[in-house]
Amino acid sequence: MIKKNKTLVVTGANGLLGRALLDILVDVFDIWAIVHTMPVNPVPNVRYLTIDLSLEWSFEELPANADVIIHLAQSAQFRNFPNGCMDVFKVNIASTARLLDYAHKVNAEKFIFASSGGVYGNSSNSLKENSPIAPPGQLGYYLGSKMCGEILVQSYASVFQVVVLRPFFIFGKGQNRAMLIPRLMDNVSADRPIMLQGQNGIRINPVHVHDASEAIMAALSLEQSATFNIAGPDVLSIREICEGMGQFLGKKPIFQTQFGDPQDLIGNNAAMCRQLIQPQYRLLNSLNDVLL
């Protein structure tokens, strides 16, 4: 169990999940937050380090002691293949390797790594932590980089405790509008057509950023290495999500259907509920958090 007054190093601390995590951890732990640029409204009592993980950097820039490293950072170029592939490599793979080496050198107790639920690939079945990973040729560069990161992290399980988290469609207030849930909301609001695979589109179970951050908080108390899906309580089709958004906005969604059977991406969250937390936030009851 990680006790109070431990030192945590958090990467990606300006992101949706990173910021929410700082808010709930700052009163309990001594936090060093690694950010690309200083936030406009920094969290009080957090010590910030501006480090561009896509450039050359040394872990000598990091604190001399750290009990836990929480690696949330991901490349902003994740959709820009192949032009952004080196940025993705440096942030998602090379920096993960460097942070693991840092964790070893400072005798850290725990390393928590944010991967992605997308590493399984789409499936008509609910995906458990031991479900097969998508073949390398189907992962694509970004998800392949996340899988490489998982392999690196799990290699250190004999050195310190490692926890791999696979989030499924995190959403919350202030999220980048290019991400799935706010993008759907904006499409409904602007009367832009929503493309559906089949009649209803794929089914997903998005997780609110508050639940995801609480799950990481709970992972700090784990006493063994583990991998967890981080997924929400409700399985919804894209049609159901957009129709709920339409009712919320007073708009009628416009759908365009494509031929083919939808391939879902549903994270089985039984292990999360059993060992971490039970998610409380339901997407269709939390649409205020998806507005601009």
Distance CA 1, CA 11 (A): 21
Euclidean distance between CA atoms 58 and 184, whole angstroms: 40
Number of folded domains in the chain? Answer: 1
What CATH number is given to the structural domain containing 52?
A: 3.40.50.720
Quick check: is 80 in a domain?
yes
Model pLDDT for residues 126-146, shown as the tens digit of each residue = 999 999 999 988 899 999 999
On whether residue 201 sits in a domain, the answer given is no
| Cα(254)–Cα(242) distance, integer angstroms | 9
Of the chain, the percentage scoring pLDDT greater than 90 comes to 89
Asked whether residue 1 carries a pLDDT value surpassing 60, the answer given is no
Give domain status of residue 105, yes or no.
yes
Residue 255 is assigned to a structural domain of this protein: no
Q: Residue 4 pLDDT > 70, yes or no?
A: no
Q: Which domain range does residue 107 map to?
A: 7-173+206-232+265-280
Flag whether 117 is in a domain. yes
In a domain, 51, yes or no: yes
Q: Is 87 part of a structural domain of the chain?
A: yes
pLDDT in tens, 170-196: 999 999 999 999 999 999 999 999 999
Helix H segments across the chain? 16-25, 85-88, 95-105, 136-154, 180-189, 209-219, 238-249, 270-275
- Alpha-carbon span 76 to 249, nearest angstrom: 30
pTM to 2 decimal places:
0.95
- The whole-angstrom separation of Cα 238 and Cα 29 is 39
Amino acid at 124: S
- In this predicted structure, what is the pLDDT of residue 3? 59
Residue with tokens 């309580």: 233
Residue-level pLDDT at 260: 80
Please give the pLDDT value at position 292: 73
Phi-psi region of 24 (alpha: psi -120 to 50; beta: other; left: phi over 0): alpha
Convert the pLDDT of each residue in 194-216 to its tens digit: 999 999 999 999 999 999 999 99
Residue 243, pLDDT above cutoff 60: yes
Look at residue 129 and tell me if it is in a domain: yes
* Cα 34–Cα 169–Cα 240 angle in degrees, nearest 5: 155
Among 118, 144, 133, 141, smallest CA distance to 265 is for: 118
